[in-house]
Structure 1
Amino acid sequence: MMTTETPRTDGALAGLARFCYRRRRLVLLTWIVGVIAVAFVGFGYGAAADNDFSGGNYDSAKAQALIREHFPQQQGDTLTLAMKAEKGIDDPAARQKIEKVLADLDASPITGPVASPYQDKSLVTQDRRIARTIIPLTSTDVKLTEVKRLVTTVKEASGDGVTLGLGGNQAEKAETPKQGPAESVGILAAAVILFIAFGSLVAMGLPIVTALLAILGGIALMKLVGYLVPAPDFTVILSAMIGLGVGIDYALFIVTRYKDSLEDGDEPESATVKAVTTAGRAVLFAGTTVVIALLGLVVMGQRLMTGVAIATSVIVLVTMIAAVTLLPAFLSFTGRKINSLRLPRRTSRRYEPVRAASRGRLTLAERWAGVVQRRPLVAAVLAGAVLLVLAAPVLSMRLSLPDASVQPHDRSSYTSYTILSEGFGPGYGAPLIFATQVDSTDADLRPVVEAVRKTAGIAYVTQPRVSRDGQAATFMAFPETGYQDAATADLVHRLRDDVLPKAPGGAAVYVGGPNAATIDMADEVGSRLPLMIAVVIAVSLVLLIALVRSVTIALQAAVMNLLSIGAAYGVLVAVVQWGWLGSALGFPTAMPITTWVPMMMFPVLFGLSMDYEVFLISRVREEYERTGDTRTAVTRGLARTAKVITAAAAIMVAVFTTSLLGPDVAVKQGGLGMAVAVLIDATIVRMVLVPAVMELCGKANWWLPGRWAPKATPASPARVGEEARV
């Protein structure tokens, strides 16, 4: 599928394929032992996840650094207990229930002293229906099972007119279910698609087994790499999803070429060598493109996103290696039994345009290509218009990180959020922490505090506190709007740009806290994303030009990939941020796009789009060099790759879509966006835009500085007659 000439039988790939075929037991044993060893070390002793997105040169990072250095007592994690009683917290029955919960929380070995709202009036609303209290945790690495017990205690105490909720970062983690059956459903869906495509249980099983072994070893290796480049906890889920998709797809391309070679009369060994030197070469190029695209995340300057890029690249690299080493060994075991346990069919129908031509008929893909090529300008304009309409919502994209307000409504953390918002305002969960250096414990921050208090959008401000060493001071301000509101981000920018610089001593005050850190990260991503896109496109263009030897086709691929990814971004905004069909797809409420999702989506999708481009255009070029006619080459190339690309895209869509079954709203967003992008790429782009644009460009498709088109190899008289019949 990859080369335009007879596959080499003496190259490095051919030698590797032949070795793996003839030494199948050695190769299989090496893989099994290697994966078991790496899994034992990686899963047993791998690096822990790092979810600290702070750092850098942001204002919030500078504020956090001052607090960490001068206020060590504020470093521990905390939980927040929210209480609401319909008859008031002083009602005897309500008070008995609330005090029982406070005592249970205070008695836990993982909590510090718990203040009672009955002893501190500032913890209770004026109507005494709602109260709150902060619960300090004794350690920063408490076991989530212990926190889950506290969450359960609070949830079970609710009822009879009293509602209780336990919030905080640790509480959210503790009550978030595990990923559940999402990956299993993805594997099952992939198996069904492969069985339909191949019609054989044996052929179906090879890509899945190959991908699963590669993913197991890749994830374990990724955990060891975490000691050098830490990554957040969602990396494992995301990497498994991407690895499963590309791993099955890469094996699918090689198995398809192997089956084609067998039907052409090749012996199993020569068929394996041909599959690896053609489709296997395409797999190596495609995988390398994905890795390079992923490493474009390094440009973002985000420490943890660099970890995500490297960890996910490890998964893709392992799946590439498995496709060209482990899979040939499996093919050696199966031989001609690759079609065993077949799906009953009336005929042995193989996807092959040549056979259809011999019967004087065109395949469905060829007929569709003919429709597009007869009206190429209309097809291109309509397809481009659809993509631009789908991409339009991206202009209103807002970035943030999920908090309690966007969690499922049955969570205790969401209950805590709603109670606190009702009693103390929606900004209670989005505090701004101001920090600055001072000269002494008598430092006067009243002008700054007063300027912040008078700012529109501020609900109330706490009194400033000076550190014991007299070198730093801090105070808090609570906005009138919530964590996810655009007005809160506008308020932070206004404080930094206008309010603080004009207040005496305010220029040296930093605005920090979790909310400000999220806003800073979103701003940084927004400013660096164009640079990452430019780097990924530039490097991918160089690789694609080197492979297909055409500047025109490489530029076409880049533009079409941008259109399909932009459309995916737009659909994601419409579903997640605008709420269109959001609840039906498992999103509890409308919310901004998670900050890391668009910057993670782009390199993955650009790399995957290049995969399909490579498999399609390489076959088109092969046909062009054989016939010298662009229209025929596009028609035949599309027909020869339509089935395998459709199956590969269907697998990707199925795997990515299963993320909607999981509990993590950020991972859901990423999975939905990538599923939409692959679907668009495999339909509108590959089936409409590519044939239409190539028809419009004609011989200019093959332009390369110094040459306009590859030479066509004269076809045999029999082949000419066959082409004429088609």
Structure 2
Amino acid sequence: MHTVLERYGVFAASHSWRVIVLFLAAVGLVSGFGLGIGQTTDDTVTLPGSESTAAQDLLQSAFPKSAKGSGTIVFSGDAGAFSSPDGTAALQSLAASIAADKHVTQAVLLPTAISSDGSVAYISVSFDVETRDVTPAIAQPVLDTATKGAPSGATVLPGGQIAKTLAAEPTHGAEVVGLVAAAIILLISLGTAVAMALPILSALIGLLFGLGAIALLSLLDAIPTVSGTIAAMLSLGVGIDYSLFLVTKFRSVRATGASVPVAAGRAMAGSGSAIVFAGVTVMVALAGLVLAGVPYLNSLAWVAATGVACAMLTCLLLLPAVLGLLGDGIERLALPTRTARREKPGVWHRVGAATSKRPWLSLVGSLVVLAALAFPVTSLQLGQTDDGNAPTSQVTRQSYDVLSDAFGAGVNGPLLVIAALPTPEPSGQSVPPDPALAALTTAFGSTDGVASVVGATVSDDGTAAQWSVIPTTAPSDPKTAKLVDTLRTSVIPGAAGDLDPLVGGQTAAKADFAGIIDANLLTVIIVVIAASAVLLFFAFRSVAIPLTAAAMNVVSILVAYGVLVFVFQQGNGIQLTGLDAPVPIEAYVPLLLFAVLFGLSMDYEVFLLSAIQESWHSFADNRRAVVHGIGSTGRVITSAALIMVSVFISFVPNPDPVVKMFGVGLAAAVLVDATLVRGVLVPAVMTVLGRANWWLPAWLDKRMPHLTIEG
């Protein structure tokens, strides 16, 4: 790989225009087609082998109209506006008008859909397409019909999938601010405006490449709505960082007098090799999420991996050609203080020297600080977010609040209970149920935590019955997940008789999701750590370094978890994120965050350890190698970390609470990892270990293949 990358670097720098035109043409095709088509999204949680998925399958076969995409239209007005005969008749007529839409299979105003004071009502709308296929072209006419036909004085709000489909795309002003901050950091770090522009340009092209590729691939496998934003966050972060490392290496080699093509080749052989290793490590870590056995998580993983891969390929394939084209032009528009600043002693060299002089004090002190930051993780509780956790400016939150205030929070997340019937029953909802169905209805209604029950409703062919069980608590409330468990383990076994009811719906599916994540979390963590440690083992030919690196990465991840709990679960400073109250930690966030952070942390680990190893080979003095490695990489690693932090923080204004969690968690972990962990803890540990850092049994050394990585 080392030789291949070097040869490509020389070739690309020698044939700059040819490489640039071909690569940009390829990116143009992918991004043009992909972004023109748009991403195919689906937030439905399916869990093979789970009860909620079995319930959804039965619903699909017995109640096909109810199993498609759906939403609500919410009306609010004065007291009695919708409970009066005229008000109710107007809404019934409006429901019939909505049902006449070519994509609507049914639009229903149930008696229970009018609040007790008559000030709020909602019409439930079912579409003839799957949830992921409810496009604005399908949802907007329904809302238009409702708005035009609403009773005088009524306020109309879309709810559910209709609201999500029609929600305005978040503005990207904050991301622009993040890029500006990254540009300032790059300018200070690299010293010239031209050099500063290259990582930004590479990252933006890589982002277009990645988003286009993701959109095309989503035609084969629909992706969660949030995944594109997470991929963009990672793509920008690693795209700028990888390019920064390559540009820095190119300039340092060029400063020795090497020609431009040779400098590009050596930069690719050195930093390029480390970039490949770091990028592959991120993707391997994300691939480990497949072990969780959750299709939703698999989609998040491959989307994120695609974003990282496209950013890496753009850096490696395009940037050497641009460097060859610019040559010494990269030094243009230099800061006036650049030369003077370079002559000053390095801060990180002094930090490394101080740490190595008192390694035990540095080790214990840094661990105390890191433990304090990570301590809140001891109270981590996994849960599920809902529309009630969104910012109040979002229409999904507004319709959620109107319904919650009028009917109780549980109306926003009803539980589906469905049972196959041994003998066909008369269809419909008003048909007197048989004793078994009546017993279940009574049992559901008398269960603590249940506000009301709608049903039993028998399918048109009489082969199945379903109930809508409305909890007293919100979908995100842990009590709702407990209710799901109570229905399954206590209520249904005691009242079902010969029937075998299944509890499903999205609220129950997310509860199952959390259970599966909890059961597989340790397995995924062990596999990801082991796979990454093996890669490091071959790269650095050491027993201690992979173990130390894995431990350091875990420390950074625990800090991220601690910050998430402190901010989102406990609500400390929650208003700074744009939310108005504490929110649950979404079940899959810690697992996906672990995979991403473990891979990103390896970036800095590889560049730092490569420099230390190079010094060790030169000096054969462990302490000197550690100090030199910290001093030579500290500036660029800190700059790279600050850039990532700027990018990640810029996504926090996004209205999705999950995106906010990723932005805060990634920023906190990267900042701590690149400063306290890499700057103090790692050199302290390596100083304490001494020559043991580089120990490898002789018999194993002879049999191992050589994998060279240079920073």
Asked if Structure 1 and Structure 2 have the same fold, meaning a TM-score greater than 0.5 normalized by the shorter chain, the answer is yes
- List alignment gaps of at least 5 residues for structure 1: 1-6, 357-361, 711-726
Q: Quick check: 1:700–1:709 contact (8 Å CA) kept in 2? A: no
How far off its partner does 1:270 sit? 2.3
Please state if 1:420 is matched with 2:413.
no
Q: Secondary structure at the match of 1:465?
A: strand
- Give the alignment's Cα RMSD to 1 decimal: 3.1
Q: Report the equivalent of 2:462.
A: 470
Does residue 405 of structure 1 match 2:405? Answer: no
Q: Work out the CA distance in 2 between the residues paired with 1:28 and 1:472.
A: 62
Q: Decide which of 208, 229, 233 is 1:241's aligned counterpart.
A: 233
Q: Is the 8 A contact 1:81 1:134 kept in 2?
A: yes
Residues 442-487 of structure 1 deviation map (CA, whole Å, 9 limit, x = unaligned): 4632333333333222222233122232322211211121111111
Which runs of structure 2 are paired with 1:14-413 in the superposition (5 Å)? 14-45=6-37, 48-89=40-81, 102=94, 106=98, 109=101, 121-137=111-127, 139-140=129-130, 141-144=133-136, 147=139, 165-345=157-337, 347=339, 349-350=341-342, 362-413=345-396
Deviates more, 1:588-597 or 1:247-256: 588-597
Shift of residue 630 of structure 1?
Answer: 1.5
Deviates more, 1:237-246 or 1:50-59: 50-59
Residues 1:695 and 2:695 aligned together: no
Letter of the 2:124 partner, please give it. I
* Superposition deviation, residue 173 in structure 1: 3.2
Relative to 1, partners in 2 of residues 1:346 and 1:272: Cα closer, same or farther, differing over 3 Å?
closer
For the residues of structure 1 that align with 2:78 and 2:219, how far apart are their CA atoms? Answer: 51
**Change beyond 3 A, Cα 1:453–1:699:** same
Contact 2:75 2:156 in 1 (8 A): yes
Residue by residue over 1:301-346, the C-alpha shift from the partner in whole angstroms, topping out at 9 and shown as x without a partner, is 1223223322322332233233233211111111122110111127
1:651 has 2:665 as partner: no
For residues 12 and 56 of structure 2, the distance between their equivalents in structure 1, rounded to whole angstroms, comes to 54
CA contact (8 A) 1:176 1:663 kept: no
Residue of structure 1 in register with 2:431 after alignment? none
* Residues 222 and 311, structure 1, Cα contact 8 Å, conserved in 2: yes
Q: CA deviation at 1:492?
A: 1.0
Q: In the TM superposition, what whole-angstrom CA distance separates every residue of 1:204-224 from its partner, at most 9, and x where no partner exists? A: 112222222222223222223
Question: Shift of residue 202 of structure 1?
Answer: 1.2
- Structure 1 segment 619-658 matched on structure 2, within 5 A: 619-658=611-650
The 1-side partners of 2:22 and 2:367 are apart by 49
Contact 2:105 2:127 in 1 (8 A): yes
Deviation at 1:81, TM superposition (A): 3.7
Q: Residue 523 of structure 2 aligns to a residue in which SS?
A: helix
Contact 1:200–1:343, Cα closer than 8 Å, also in 2: yes
TM-score normalised to structure 2 length = 0.90
1:551-604 C-alpha deviation (Å, 9 max, x unpaired): 111111111111111110111122112211111111243211223322221111
Cα pair distance change 1:365/1:108, threshold 3 Å = farther
- Give the alignment of 1:451-530 within 5 angstroms: 451-505=443-497, 508-530=500-522
How far is 1:149 from its partner? Answer: 7.0
1:514-593 alignment to 2 at 5 Å? 514-593=506-585
Contact 1:280-1:324 within 8 A present in 2 as well? yes
Q: Flag the 1:421–1:538 CA change in 2: closer, same or farther, 3 A.
A: same
Q: Which amino acid aligns with 2:312?
A: M
Q: Deviations for 1:373-393, whole angstroms, at most 9, x for unmatched residues?
A: 233222222222222232232
Match of 2:415 in 1: 432
Report the alpha carbon displacement of residue 283 of structure 1 after superposing the two structures with TM.
Answer: 0.9
Please tell me the residue identity of whatever aligns with 2:670: V
- Secondary structure of 1:32's counterpart equals helix
Give the secondary-structure state (helix, strand or coil) at the position aligned to 1:347. Answer: helix
Q: Distance in 2 between matches of 1:346 and 1:84?
A: 63
Residues 52 and 131 of structure 1: CA distance in aligned 2, closer, same or farther (over 3 Å) = closer
- Counterpart CA distance in 2 for 1:516 and 1:563 is 33
In structure 1, what is the Cα distance between the partners aligned to 2:591 and 2:466? 34
**Conservation of the 8 A alpha-carbon contact between 1:111 and 1:136:** yes
Answer whether contact 1:124 1:132 (CA < 8 A) is retained: yes
Residues 499-508 or 362-371, more deviating: 499-508
CA distance in 2, matches of 1:686, 1:518: 37
Change (3 A) 1:281 1:222: same
For the residue of structure 2 that corresponds to 1:441, the secondary structure is coil
DSSP 3-state at the match of 2:123: strand
Q: What is the alpha-carbon distance in structure 1 between the residues aligned to residue 602 and residue 514 of structure 2? A: 28
TM-fit CA distance, 1:540: 0.3
TM-fit CA distance, 1:41: 2.9
> In the alignment, residue 538 of structure 1 is paired with which amino acid?
A
CA positional deviation for 1:136: 4.1
Distance 1:334 1:396 in 2: 53
Cα distance, 1:91–1:462 mapped onto 2, change above 3 Å:
closer
Judging changes above 3 Å, is the alpha-carbon distance between structure 1 residues 382 and 226 closer, same or farther for their aligned structure 2 residues? Answer: same
Shift of 1:503: 2.8
Letter of the structure 2 residue corresponding to residue 399 of structure 1: L
> Residues 249, 472 of structure 1: CA spacing in aligned structure 2 closer, same or farther, 3 A cutoff?
same
Displacement of 1:502 after TM fit?
2.9
Conserved 8 A contact 1:427-1:481 = yes
Deviation of the 1:84 alpha carbon? 4.3
Return the alpha-carbon distance in structure 1 between the equivalents of residues 674 and 681 of structure 2.
10
1:359-411 CA distances to partner (integer Å, 9 max, x unpaired)? Answer: xxx53212212222233222222222222232232233333443221122233
What CA distance in whole angstroms lies between the structure 1 residues aligned with 2:484 and 2:95? 38
Between the aligned partners of 2:445 and 2:634, the Cα distance in structure 1 is 64
Query: Which shows bigger deviation, 120-129 or 278-287?
Result: 120-129
One-letter amino acid of the structure 2 residue matched with residue 214 of structure 1: G
Deviation at 1:427, TM superposition (A): 1.4
Amino acid in the other structure paired with 2:359: P
Contact preservation (8 Å) 2:352, 2:627:
yes
The one-letter code of the counterpart of 1:128 is G
Determine if contact 1:525/1:595 at 8 Å carries over to the other structure. Answer: yes
Question: Contact between 2:82 and 2:121, CA under 8 Å: does it hold in 1?
Answer: no
Question: Aligned partners of 1:439 and 1:571: how far apart in 2?
Answer: 52
Report the CA distance between 1:158 and its aligned residue: 11
In the TM superposition, residue 100 of structure 1 has moved relative to its aligned partner by 12
Aligned partners of 1:185 and 1:148: how far apart in 2? Answer: 33
SS in 1 for 2:339: coil
1:720 alignment counterpart: none
